[in-house]
Structure 1
Amino acid sequence: MRIPGGPDGRRMMAVTFVDKAGSGLWGATSALYFTFVAGLDTGEIGLLIGLSGAIGIAGPPLGGLLADRVPLRPLMVVVQAVRALASLALLTTTDLRLLLAVATVGSLGDRTSAVLTKLYATRVAGEDRSRYQAINRTVSNVGWAVGGLAAAGALTAGTTAVYRWLLVGDALSFVLAALLTLRCAEPPSYSRLGTETGTGTGATHGAAPAPAGTTNPWRDRRYLAYTASEAVLFLDDSVFKIGLPLWTVTATSAPHQAVPLLLVLNNVLVVCFQVPLARFGSTPRAARATLLPLAAVFLAGGAALAASTAGTPWLATAALTLAATAFTVAEMLHATVSWELSVALAPPTAQGAYLGVHGLAQAVQRSAGPLAMTGAIAAGPAGWLGLGAALAAVCCVQRRLVREREAPALSVASVTVSEH
């Protein structure tokens, strides 16, 4: 498979796999570690995860701002090192206050790393960034699956030592990711080389960046509105993590065993179809056109969840399968649209700052998403119909935001120099 970005693109794919495999080890066992090793109760675990995650929201804009001012590769290495140290530091204490401080540093590192990785891909892949993102999401899913399976196998031993070793494995994955990053070249940067030596990652074929003179995303009202709409569309993540499992076991007659199978279906579909669907976000114009079918898929997913309460277990399972498929298609379409538009609407000289602000969308969704899911469940079938309709409406609003930003097609010269 051809990976955009040449050797550096392939090396960053390896970084993604190692990073996500380590995160799969920890993500599958973190709550168990805090319960059986740190000795925290459920309320303390909720406070730890919730508060550290909320503070971690500051990571994307901070990382993006730094990336416009300092070389990207060493910054990525430093962030990976911070993540490794934070993971190892969790092993040194069971005090809730210290655990909160360490977990907050880790959360900031996780969120910052995600934005820096996206920015590196934007700079190295150029106009082929949509294909790069699609392959990257596929590799991420495979990495998570490998890490989760390894954690499941290790937990059969059932000892506290196993939890500690899984956390060590997570830390080592960050160390290996940092070492792999050191083998990558520093990508060219508009903000550091000047606009005359562009990377080809500016707005092309139907979308324009921020208004002339605007390089501060916090003063770009339309980009902020776009980011706010993204926070809503990223709710597909909470649907799979919270909404679908809870709805299945509390409101439908489908067997509980269907829950993990629906999650596996999501993973398999992403691995198989994310790359082919990348063509729907290959240009800003294509991405904008995809927002209408994305709206239809969101609406279909909400309707299928609403219908899953009626009929026999077989009919409920069929409706849930349809819903899982619809929301997975929505997830894949939105991923490629979001990647393209978030870059195309940013001025090339401030991509880091803009992508950092865009990173807030996912961070906010992770905090507000659980409330949205529990609210939809409490409202019953009407709640899912309402959620699907709301997501479809936001797609239409976002389509208008992008249209208003359109301008005559621009072309940006490819860069022919690199920083070392």
Structure 2
Amino acid sequence: MRPVTQPPSTPTQARRVLAAAKRLIPPTPLSRRLALQSLLFATGFGTFLTGSAVYFTKLVGLSASQVGVGLSVAAVVAFLAAYPAGRVVDIIGPKRTWAVCTLVGALMFALWPFLHGFAAYLAVTVVFELVQNPGGAGRNAYILDVMPEKERVQTQAYMYSSLNVGFTLGALISGVALALDNLTVLRWMPIVTLVLGLVNAFFIVRLPRAERDVRVADKSRRKEPVPGPGALRNRGWMALNFFAGVLETNQVLLNVVIPLWLVEKTDSPHWLLAWLFGTNTVMCIFLPAYTSRGVRTIDDALKGIRISGAFFVLSCLITLLTHSTVGFLTVLLVWLGHVTVTGAELANSASEWAFQAQLMDPRRRGEYGGVGQVFKTAGDGWAPAVFTFLAISWGPAGWLVIAAIAVIATLGMAPAVRSAQRFAARELPPVATEPVG
């Protein structure tokens, strides 16, 4: 009998699998360090976030409405603080701001085991938001400042994947604590976040200084006025971020509206929620490095916006059908609706990274980030209440209105981006308009 041999295609297939696996690993030492930092942050914060609802109600002594009020107040504070926070980054330096805010934010978790009542919860939540705001602005400015231009979008994609891995690990850690059903164990869970936060702050300090950090450290240059017009004079940038905020309401569909629709308006089993979020997590871990790979120019980014808008609308159309379906068909359609809205998230993220890399003034990245955050909040802050009302109260007609909002935002992005491009060509250094990715 002739011996059985492996088909000749097997080595090629193995090489392809190996090459695909390598693409999930950041290609440069600095991008790997930034991805690891994202993993540290998300693991620590995800550990607290996963069990926060139980923590706030069982240990801090809050009602569900009080938790909601606190988060709403914090959101308003974040909106008001976004622009000043961006200016702080430009004055102090992105890495220093990021590291200090990360350290202070980590230390605040040491307070949670000793807090009780709404006033204490509100105070800590608001202060934490005030700390996180400049920290996030510093992080975003640092990445754009320190990374070579051709690596910026891809590096942010790897960091995005690492965030999702970290939040998954944090959820597993918190899930073990919740499964023990022991309030003493749960009370001291914020210490895990504290420890990982301190490691994260040390990790950030060890990162190389970016150009803006070097400039701030040079006392002879520190008080030099920053050249160029401010971000509030760039109408295209403001409009771009408003429409980007509207398109980012895909997260409201993902995390709020589709789950509520599943529970209230379909016959789907509630365990499907776990499958939906699991699918989203897996896609957001493994796909960002691929979906961002083709985004090299502004035109590529605008194509990504159109793809994101198409997925957004498709998710609405698929989900509205489940109003009148039953059984397995409903389960399949709800799952497809969640998959398509995740596609909208991935395409939109890659495009936004390109816009930030090319259309921000590199001399004012903190300010541009702060202004962008203000207008993004204006674009998405209303969505949880409005989208929930439309879907739950209006049914299929409400989903059509949500889809129409996504279409309007998609159509509005192109003229906003072109306006920001013209401003960049006229007012910003040439580096701000070179291709990335």
Q: 42-51 or 96-105, which moves further after superposition?
A: 42-51
The 3 A distance-change label for structure 1 pair 143 and 279 is same
Identity of aligned residues (%): 23
Alpha-carbon contact 1:86-1:105 (below 8 Å) kept = no
Alpha-carbon contact 1:215-1:350 (below 8 Å) kept = no
- Do residues 387 (structure 1) and 387 (structure 2) align? no
Alpha-carbon contact 1:343-1:355 (below 8 Å) kept = no
Separation of aligned partners in 2, 1:162 and 1:50: 28
Shift of 1:18: 0.8
Alpha-carbon contact 2:239-2:375 (below 8 Å) kept = no
Q: 309-318 or 110-119, which moves further after superposition?
A: 110-119
Secondary structure of residue in 1 paired with 2:207: coil
Larger radius of gyration: 2
Residues 59-138 of structure 1 correspond to what in structure 2 (within 5 A)? Answer: 59-127=81-149, 128-138=151-161
Post-superposition CA distance 1:130-185 (Å, at most 9, x none): 10111111000000000001101111111222222221111222211101011111
Shift of 1:33: 0.9
The corresponding residue for 1:170 is 193
The 3 A distance-change label for structure 1 pair 292 and 42 is closer
- Do residues 341 (structure 1) and 344 (structure 2) align? no
Separation of aligned partners in 2, 1:284 and 1:175: 38
Shift of 1:364: 5.0
Normalised to the residue count of structure 2, the TM-score between the two structures is 0.84
Normalised to the residue count of structure 1, the TM-score between the two structures is 0.87
The corresponding residue for 1:55 is 77
Letter in 1 for 2:163: S
Separation of aligned partners in 2, 1:347 and 1:274: 25
Letter in 2 for 1:141: N
The corresponding residue for 2:335 is 321
Separation of aligned partners in 2, 1:120 and 1:21: 21
The corresponding residue for 1:8 is 30
The 3 A distance-change label for structure 1 pair 375 and 343 is farther
The corresponding residue for 1:150 is 173
Alpha-carbon contact 1:9-1:124 (below 8 Å) kept = no
Task: State the superposition RMSD in angstroms.
Answer: 2.4
The corresponding residue for 2:41 is 19
The 3 A distance-change label for structure 1 pair 323 and 27 is same
Alpha-carbon contact 1:39-1:94 (below 8 Å) kept = yes
Match of 1:273 among 275, 284, 287: 287
- Do residues 307 (structure 1) and 321 (structure 2) align? yes
Alpha-carbon contact 2:103-2:198 (below 8 Å) kept = yes
Structure 2 residue runs of 5 or longer lacking an equivalent are 1-21, 217-226, 433-437
Separation of aligned partners in 1, 2:353 and 2:266: 35
- Do residues 41 (structure 1) and 54 (structure 2) align? no
The 3 A distance-change label for structure 1 pair 226 and 384 is same
Q: 259-268 or 166-175, which moves further after superposition?
A: 166-175
Shift of 1:292: 2.1
Separation of aligned partners in 1, 2:413 and 2:431: 25
Separation of aligned partners in 2, 1:295 and 1:35: 38
Shift of 1:126: 2.8
Shift of 1:361: 5.0
Letter in 2 for 1:380: G
Separation of aligned partners in 2, 1:58 and 1:405: 24
Q: 139-148 or 296-305, which moves further after superposition?
A: 296-305
Separation of aligned partners in 1, 2:58 and 2:346: 36
Separation of aligned partners in 2, 1:40 and 1:103: 13
The 3 A distance-change label for structure 1 pair 17 and 51 is same
The 3 A distance-change label for structure 1 pair 188 and 20 is same
Structure 1 residue runs of 5 or longer lacking an equivalent are 194-212, 414-420
Separation of aligned partners in 2, 1:404 and 1:52: 32
The 3 A distance-change label for structure 1 pair 56 and 86 is farther
How many residue pairs were aligned? Answer: 394
Separation of aligned partners in 1, 2:370 and 2:160: 19
The corresponding residue for 1:199 is none
Shift of 1:412: 3.2
Alpha-carbon contact 1:291-1:396 (below 8 Å) kept = no
Secondary structure of residue in 2 paired with 1:279: coil
Letter in 1 for 2:320: A
Secondary structure of residue in 1 paired with 2:189: helix
Secondary structure of residue in 2 paired with 1:348: coil
The 3 A distance-change label for structure 1 pair 156 and 366 is farther
Match of 2:414 among 389, 392, 399: 399
Letter in 1 for 2:38: T
The corresponding residue for 1:237 is 251
Q: 149-158 or 365-374, which moves further after superposition?
A: 365-374
The 3 A distance-change label for structure 1 pair 360 and 341 is same
Secondary structure of residue in 1 paired with 2:325: coil
Shift of 1:6: 4.0
Alpha-carbon contact 2:246-2:380 (below 8 Å) kept = no
Alpha-carbon contact 2:93-2:138 (below 8 Å) kept = no
Match of 1:251 among 265, 270, 277: 265
- Do residues 356 (structure 1) and 370 (structure 2) align? yes
Alpha-carbon contact 2:78-2:130 (below 8 Å) kept = yes
Letter in 2 for 1:261: W
The corresponding residue for 2:312 is 298
Q: 296-305 or 163-172, which moves further after superposition?
A: 163-172
